[in-house]
Structure 1
Amino acid sequence: RLPEVIHVSGLSRSTIYDLISRNAFPAQVSLGGKNVAWLASEVSAWMNARIAARAQERAA
């Protein structure tokens, strides 16, 4: 759910949705109605990719 994604990622709600619109963050999954959630594995993979990219930038 969004509050957990905000807590885990440290991003704001608006930043998360901005990144989703630019295909730079995992998209939410509809649970029906207005309820949405994110797969923890996708959010974790996104965070790991960001960490790896940072490490590559520092090595360059």
Structure 2
Amino acid sequence: MKILRRQEVSERVGLKTTALYEMINRGEFPRPMKLSERAVGWLESDIDEWIQSRIEHRDLTALEESDQNLWTTVNAALDSSQRKQANQLLFELHSIRRAFAAYTNANSGIECQLAQRLKKLTDKFPNHLED
């Protein structure tokens, strides 16, 4: 477990200190922990997760409008640890839909595999994944 100081966090995420603290105040960035009277630091894993969440958010912007509405609904209903899993599931749903479109004429059995994955997602969010 590694602790990152403010300058290293700023360099990693590409944001200046002011922007970091504005995002912290809005709840959009992990809070630092106090290391001493005048020093704070972040867990490296927290920063890595935040960066991953930004990548996932970028990827989610490519989703269809119905998926965007679903993401908004699910995101509002979950706590932060559940949001990451929900984002991954919704991204997978979008990937499945794309794969269905790409392989509709294939005879390799991939439709069956994709249908099973889609069913698992539908079972997890039964009231939200209906088209």
TM-score band w.r.t. shorter chain: over 0.9
Counterpart-to-counterpart distance in 1, 2:41 and 2:60: 31
Match of 1:12 among 4, 7, 16: 16
Partner of 2:40: 36
Partner of 1:25: 29
Counterpart-to-counterpart distance in 1, 2:55 and 2:47: 13
TM-score normalised by L of structure 1:
0.94
Q: How many correspondences in the alignment?
A: 60
Counterpart-to-counterpart distance in 2, 1:2 and 1:32: 13
Query: Over alpha carbons, which structure has the higher Rg?
Result: 2
Instruction: Give identity over the alignment, percent.
Output: 32
Q: 1:32 Cα deviation (Å)?
A: 1.5
Partner of 2:120: none
Counterpart-to-counterpart distance in 2, 1:21 and 1:59: 29
Whose RCO is larger (CA < 8 A, sep 6+)?
1
Counterpart-to-counterpart distance in 2, 1:58 and 1:15: 26
State the AA in 1 paired with 2:29.
F
Task: Verify: 1:52 aligned to 2:56, yes or no.
Answer: yes
Structure 1 residues without counterparts, runs of 5 or longer: none
Cα RMSD of the aligned pairs, angstroms, is: 0.7
Structure 2 residues without counterparts, runs of 5 or longer: 65-131
